[in-house]
Every structure is written in structure tokens, then in C-alpha cells.
Amino acid sequence: GENVEQHPSTLSVQEGDSAVIKCTYSDSASNYFPWYKQELGKRPQLIIDIRSNVGEKKDQRIAVTLNKTAKHFSLHITETQPEDSAVYFCAAHSGNTPLVFGKGTRLSVIA
Amino acid sequence: NAGVMQNPRHLVRRRGQEARLRCSPMKGHSHVYWYRQLPEEGLKFMVYLQKENIIDESGMPKERFSAEFPKEGPSILRIQQVVRGDSAAYFCASSPTTDNEQFFGPGTRLTVL
């Protein structure tokens, strides 16, 4: 089955700097890659997703890139702000299988 | 359109009791997923259901845990004879199809004394 690895597990950046979180997946059939943000004590919420027919997607300060050949995808957050502090999860999905999540990255943005 | 609803939000049980967690998916969503999250850890898939059918229960312990999604009413995750190790946050999510965004509920935090 699918296996998703996520790095780093923790990340601290200065406010205004960029943050990059990387994930790899094992199943070449995976075709949907969402990223979720979970603030302390709250539910995970989708922030951006990408499908296998595109290589990059951007939404304001957030972008995701996908390299199908290497089977990895990354989340990029530019001009980080304190409210970006949270745990971020990547996930991969193919066909009728459930989403498989990475173990999460705890991002701390230091003001 | 109300989001995914879960109740109760907090549940305290003594060892050996039963825990029943409820999840009402978003309107129009027929796919429901249950996840368990331990403190400081990721989301672990438990079970995937469509109306009246269990599609994938590969992540659910074979004993004491069961799930259902009846034709009418919410999806229910049942944990019988709870043990301390069952203490966790249990999230459900719903989607209109399998390859769409999953919307998460607020979670049920189960504490076993």
C-alpha cells in the first residue's frame, strides 16, 4: 500500500522568511495530494491540493510542487506570519483507497 | 450547509465501558472516514464507509472496534470495553467522492480513566 514520508518533523522560521515542507510517496498510481493545516486543538483543514496532471499550484503565499518522476511533493509558504504556526500534514491518494497522511510538521513562526 | 458534525466533543469513560462516537457528514456527502490522532502524532486511518457499506476497515483494530453508516442517521464508531490506550482524538471526515477534498469534523476527544 501507499506510504507517505514527511520532513522535517519540526520547523522554526523567522517571521517573513519562507518555509518548505517535503513529502515522498511510494505508490506511483497516487494522483491526488492535499495539504492540511491543523491548529492546536482544532480540526485539520485543507489549505491547498494538487493533482498529478499539474506540476505546481499557487494560492497567494502558499504553493505546492509535484515531481511525479521522483514521487515527491512540497509545500512552500512565503512571507510567513505568526498565524501560520500549526501542524501541517501532507497526504496522498489513489483510486478508491483512503488518504494516507504523513506524520506532520510542526511549524513555528517566530515574531 | 453545515459542516461535518461530531458528537460528543468530549467523552470520558472508565475502563471496560463502551464509547459511541457519532459523525454526521456534510449534506450530499456519502463517503465517511474515521481517523484516530494520538497527542503529538499524525492522523491514522481507521475505516472508510459509504452508506450502509464498509469499504475499507484495514486501519481498525479487529477486536472491540466497529463502525457503521446506516441509511438514515449518522455514522457511528463504537469502541467496546475501552482501555486507557484508546484515549485519543477521533476525527471523522466526509467527501462527495473518493478523490475529492475530505472535510473534517471537530473531533471527539475520548479520555479513558
pLDDT at res. B1 = 57
Phi/psi for B40 (5° steps) reads 65, 20
Confidence class for position B13, pLDDT limits 50, 70, 90 = very high
Chain B positions in Cβ-Cβ contact with residue A5 (cut-off 8 Å): none
pLDDT (mean) for A28-37: 94
Is the Cβ pair B106, A43 closer than 8 Å?
Answer: yes
User: How far is it between the farthest Cα atoms of chain B?
Assistant: 38
The residue that leads in pLDDT, B51 or B93, is B93
- Asked if the C-beta of A99 comes within 8 angstroms of chain B's C-beta atoms, the answer is yes
Q: What does each C-alpha distance from B100 to A46, A63, B30, B46, B97 come to in angstroms? A: 11, 19, 12, 18, 6
pLDDT at res. A110 = 95
Task: Give tens-digit pLDDT for A61-103.
Answer: 999 999 999 999 999 999 999 999 999 999 998 876 788 899 9
Q: Which member of A32, A36, A101 has the closest CB to residue B99?
A: A32
Chain B positions in Cβ-Cβ contact with residue A104 (cut-off 8 Å): 41-42
Chain A: give the shortest CA distance to residue B93, in Å: 10
